[in-house]
Every structure is written in structure tokens, then in C-alpha cells.
Amino acid sequence: MRILKKDRQHQLAQLLDATPFLTDEEIAHHFSVSVQTIRLDRLECGIPELRERMRTAATETIADKVKALQQEEVIGEIIDIELDSKAISILDITSLHVFQKSGIARGHHLFGQANSLAVAILDDELALTAKSVLHFVKPVKAGDRVIARAIVRGKRDNRTFVEVTSTVGDEKVFSGEFQMYRSAGTSQEEVE
């Protein structure tokens, strides 16, 4: 059963509020309609294309918030950050990121995105990875967009515990737990 155009457009706006970095193809698949239908719906609703939505998010002075890294040191593009709380970055996988024989992304790119996000999230001038536990869940290929989400899970002394989960579409492809050293000591809060 197809939903009415008006209802689909309302649901489209809600979907993009929750996950603003979906491609037109992903949205079309979600609603089981053509990409052209989604493009027309976006135009009628005044919703910009993905690149413009990303550009708008990036202009919210994210680079000014990050203290421990320079913007060019971040693997991927940070699109949202609340220091000592949560952050999101995007990495578009190209042929430069994959093994030529298998077409699968090299793990150090996924780790690099997650690790640089774990460093960037800290409200400190000096933040280093003290320990990490990594889980490569599913292969990533050229053309995939990896969205990494970092959450601060707790603090103890001069350590902060950050969890990063990376997805392609709705599928988890990587997760990591990072124990981060920071120069500024914190209170004796329990790790969640």
C-alpha cells in the first residue's frame, strides 16, 4: 500500500530531521519510491540536497569547537559536536581507501575516523588514545558513506571513556571503545 504524497512528504521531513545525511537513494529505498520522486518531494518541501545539508551543518563553527586537533587532522568530516558529550563525523569511502584486489576498505581508515572523533570530542588541548578495543563488524566498500557517532561514557582521573559506533546506512560496520588520556584531570566520576 502506497502512502499519500502529502503523508510521504511529512514523513520525509521527519526522517531528515532525525537523520539529515541520508542520500536520495537511501530515502527512495526507505519509502519504496523512485529517486526522482524523492527529489521532487524535497523540492516541494524546500529541503536542500545532501551536499547543501552537509555544508549547512559544517558552517556551525565545528572547527572552532575542536581543541585537541586541527581540522585537517580529522579523518572524515565532523558534522556535529558537543564537547565532552557526543559527536558525529562522515567519511565517504573512495577507491583510495580500499584494497584493490577485494575492494574492501582498509581498517585503518575506519579506525582513523573513529579515533580522531574520540580525540576531537574532548574539551581539552591535549587528548591522546591510551587504549582502544576495536570491532570490525562488516566490510565497507568504495562508494559507502560511513557515519561515526561518538559518545562520552564516563570520566575518571585524567581518563575519558568514549564509545564510537560507525554505520553504513542502517548497518553497523565498526565499533570501538576508547580510553582517552587528557591533560586536564577530571573528578572521580564513575564510568557508566
In this predicted model, what pLDDT tens digit does every residue of 43-91 receive, in sequence order? 999 998 887 777 666 555 565 677 767 677 889 988 888 999 999 999 9
**Per-residue pLDDT tens listing for the chain (192 residues):** 568 889 999 999 999 888 888 899 999 999 999 999 999 999 999 998 887 777 666 555 565 677 767 677 889 988 888 999 999 999 999 999 999 999 999 999 999 999 999 999 998 888 899 999 999 999 999 999 999 999 999 998 889 999 999 999 999 999 999 999 988 654 444 444
CA dihedral for 60, 64, 68, 74, sign (positive or negative)? positive
Tell me the pLDDT of the chain averaged across its residues.
87
If DSSP codes are grouped into helix, strand and coil, which group holds residue 129? Answer: strand
Judge whether 149 lies within some domain.
Answer: yes
Judge whether 128 lies within some domain.
Answer: yes
Judge whether 191 lies within some domain.
Answer: no
Q: CATH number of the domain at 37, please.
A: 1.10.10.10
Judge whether 41 lies within some domain.
Answer: yes
The number of folded domains in the chain is 2
State the Cα–Cα distance between residues 165 and 148, nearest whole angstrom.
Answer: 6
State the Cα–Cα distance between residues 79 and 21, nearest whole angstrom.
Answer: 10
How long is the chain? 192
List of residues 6+ apart from 40 with CB closer than 8 A: none
**pTM exceeding 0.85:** no
* Shared domain check, 87 and 48: no
The domain boundary residue, chosen from 36, 57, 78: 57
Domain encompassing residue 33 = 5-57
Q: Are strands 127-136 and 171-182 parallel, antiparallel or unpaired?
A: antiparallel
CB of 101 closer than 8 Å to CB of 139: no
CB of 38 closer than 8 Å to CB of 12: yes
Q: CATH number of the domain at 154, please.
A: 3.10.129.10
